[in-house]
Every structure is written in C-alpha cells, then in structure tokens.
Amino acid sequence: MNSSDNIADIARRVDAVEAAALDQGLVRPGHLQQFTHKVEAEWTPAVGAAIVAHAWSNPAFKARLLKNGIAAAAELGATMPPHHRHLVVLENSESLHNLICCTLCSCTAYTVIGMPPDWYKDLEYRARVVRESRTVLTEMGMALPESMEIRVWDTTADTRYMVLPYRPPHTAGWSEKQLAALVSKESMIGTARLEPPYRAEETKGA
C-alpha cells in the first residue's frame, strides 16, 4: 500500500460502495433489513442443533444425514445457499474428534451452524489449527487425551462440513428439544465437546 496515509474511515468506505451499487441498481433499498433478518433469525445455530438432536434420536435420520447432509437437513427445513453444493456431516465418538476450519478464507455452513465466530475468522486459528490442533484445542480450554484421534477438516472447496457431536451418555431419554438446547455452535465446529469432563453434566431443561 503506497497510500497508507489518509485512508478514509471504514464506515464511509462502506457507504461509498453501497451508494455506487444503489446508483447502478445492483442493490435494492431494504436489502440490509432482509439480510439482517436472515443473519439474526434464520441462519442460527438452532438450525444445526435441531438436526443434531434429531440425528441422536432417530438412527434412520442419522444414517441419511451422514450419507447426504443437504437432503437430510432439508427434511427439517434447513436450506443452504446455491454455491454450497454438498454438506458432509462428521460424527464424533468417544475416541474420535472432528474439527473444522478454513485456512484460505473463513468458509462455513453458516445457514446451518450459524455465522462464523470472530475467532474462527482470525489469522491465529486459520494458521495454527491444521498444524497444531491438539495444542490449539488445549489453549482453547479443551485438553483431549492422547487416545482421542483428531481429524481436522479444511474447507477449501464448496463442500461444507459440520460436526455431529458425541451425545453425552447422561442424556438418555431426553426429548429432542432438551437435547437441542445442549448443542452449541462451537460443538458443531469442533472446538467444544458436550460430555463430561469437557462440559459439566446438566439436568435436562424444560
């Protein structure tokens, strides 16, 4: 950058591009409200949590989900944008831990697991997690035993990945609603697990 001085305020740069796009009819007035609704009300981790809870409760659905993620997610009303042509669901077990990242940018299945968190988009996570997964997870508060196999998935194409967390053993008999309340965005990325000792045993919600 030769002209690093006098860089325009970032908010004014955004407004300048938006004004040019509006002027050319590329963006309709009201697009911001529509987008805000999608981000806040539609593309939330609750979508993925419902899929996880249903997969834990219904073995036939889980088999379909592991075979064709987009089709199975659609059974529950979840949709993906046109360029996400494939959803691969990665099942964790007692001894296997899956973890997703995007080293080249910050791709995620955002319509299913929610918008990517800040830390997922940060340079530190992108640079380090493929090479030092166990160290990074430990630093993030989840020390996995040596016996736990770690599989990292780098989202370099338009296949999207989602972790199916390991169901905590103490949740036998819980309803799908109670199960879904346990499932976090982090657990579907793979930086959290839901069973003790990684998370305290909880009593079931209402």
Among 115, 175, 176, 198, binds other proteins (CB under 8 A): 115
126 with 132: CB under 8 angstroms?
no
Question: Could you say whether residue 86 binds other proteins (CB under 8 A)?
Answer: yes
Question: Could you say whether residue 119 binds other proteins (CB under 8 A)?
Answer: yes
Which residues, 163 to 182, sit near other proteins by CB under 8 A?
Answer: none
Which of 4, 57, 101, 107 is catalytic? The answer is: 107
Q: Has 105 been annotated as catalytic?
A: yes
CA dist 112 and 76 (Å) reads: 11
> Between helices 59-67 and 45-57, what is the axis angle to 10°?
120
98 with 92: CB under 8 angstroms?
yes
**Beta strands 96-101; 86-91: pairing state:** unpaired
Which residues, 19 to 48, sit near other proteins by CB under 8 A?
Answer: 19-21, 23-24, 26-28, 31-32, 35-36, 39
Which of 102, 133, 184, 187 is catalytic? The answer is: 102
Question: Which residues are within 8 A (CB) of 161 and not within 5 positions of it... i.e. 6 or more apart?
Answer: 87, 88, 89, 90, 98, 100, 109, 153, 155
Among 63, 71, 74, 150, binds other proteins (CB under 8 A): 150
Residue 203 to residues 15, 46, 146, 199: CA-CA distances in angstroms? Answer: 48, 20, 29, 12
Question: Could you say whether residue 66 binds other proteins (CB under 8 A)?
Answer: no
Minimum distance from residue 127 beta carbon to other proteins (Å): 4
Question: Could you say whether residue 124 binds other proteins (CB under 8 A)?
Answer: yes
Judged by CB under 8 A, how many residues of this single chain contact other proteins?
75
As annotated, the active-site residues are 102, 105-107
